[in-house]
Structure 1
Amino acid sequence: MDERDRRILALLQQDSAMPIAEIARQVGLSSTPCWQRIRNLEASGVIRARVALLDEEKVGVGVTAFVSVRTGRHAADWLAKFTEAVRGIDEIVEVYRMSGETDYLLKIVVPSIAAYDAVYQRLIKKIDFADVTSGFALEQIKRTTALPLNYA
């Protein structure tokens, strides 16, 4: 990956719908070589997808909960069941396996605290936990989907 690829990626992270001609102009290429670079970045998996980012409030899921989960079991069958459970609940938008006291961290988006409780009830019907702790975001101070490219 060279500097032009990084500049292309930076532009696409800002606006994935930007016309190829405009990206090419900004990175100093003609459209065909620019498009080929983008296709190569997609083929290599650097670009995983191009998506639209939605406004949570406008689509009715303005409450964000972060849920710390501790499991009483660290076994492959428990993990498979947990993975299936969280993948089957649309309101759970991110899940991370963690180091430290928390085993898993979930990000859940819902319209209300009552809706969060309904998601929580659905989840605990599917899987057993040793401990679950929830926190609700009061204010979003920084949020970006753009990855830093200085390490690429």
Structure 2
Amino acid sequence: MDKKDIQILTLLQQDASLSLNDLANAVNLSPTPCWRRVQRLWDSGVIQKQVTLCNPASLKLGVTVFVAVRTSQHNEEWTQLFVKGTRTIPEIVEIYRMTGDIDYLLKIVVSDIAGYDAVYKKLIKEVELQDVSAGFAMEVIKYTTALPLDHLM
């Protein structure tokens, strides 16, 4: 990966709807070599997918909840049930397995506290949990889906 690839990725992370011509112009390439580079980034798995990011508030999803989950069961069967159950709950938008005091961190997006309660009830139906602790986000200070690329230069 060279400087041109990093420039392409930086621009596409900001706006994936850029036309090939606009992208090529921005990185000082002609369209065909630019297209080849983008294809190579797709083929190598660097670019995974293109999506549309929606404004949660515009969709009446103004409550973001971060949920710390602890379990007393650390076995394959429990883990498979947890993963299967959490992946089927659409309000859970991110799931991380953690080190330290908590086992899993969930990011949940809902319309209100009652929406969170409904998700909580679904979650405890799926698997036995030792402890669930929820924190409600008061304000978004920084939000980005763009990954840092400076370390590649």
TM-score, normalising length from structure 2? 0.98
Measure, in 1, the Cα distance between the counterparts of 2:102 and 2:27. 43
Q: Counterpart of 1:28?
A: 28
1:67-78 equivalences under 5 Å are 67-78=67-78
Q: Per-residue displacement from partner, 1:23-44 (whole Å, max 9, x unpaired)?
A: 1001110001101100110111
Aligned to 1:141: 141
Q: Do structure 1's residue 10 and structure 2's residue 7 form an aligned pair?
A: no
| Cα distance between partner residues in 2 of 1:39 and 1:108 | 34
Partner residue of 1:65?
A: 65
Cα offsets for 1:24-73 (capped at 9, x unmatched): 00111000110110011011110010111100011121100000000110
Number of residue pairs matched by the alignment: 152
Structure 2 distance, partners of 1:53, 1:88, is 20
- Return the alpha-carbon distance in structure 2 between the equivalents of residues 38 and 100 of structure 1: 39
1:8 Cα shift? Answer: 0.1
* Alignment partner, residue 125 of structure 2: 125
The residue type paired with residue 43 of structure 1 is D
TM-score normalised according to structure 1 size: 0.99
Superposition map of 1:93-132 within 5 A: 93-132=93-132
* CA distance in structure 2 between the partners assigned to 1:54 and 1:75 by the alignment: 37
Match of 1:151 in 2: 151
Q: Helix, strand or coil: the match of 1:151?
A: helix
Is residue 83 from structure 1 mapped to residue 83 from structure 2 by the alignment? yes
* Matches of 1:91 and 1:151, distance apart in 2: 33
Alpha-carbon distance, 1:151 to partner? 2.3
For the aligned residue pairs, the C-alpha RMSD in angstroms reads 0.6
Distance 1:43 1:128 in 2: 41
> What's the % identity of the aligned pairs?
52
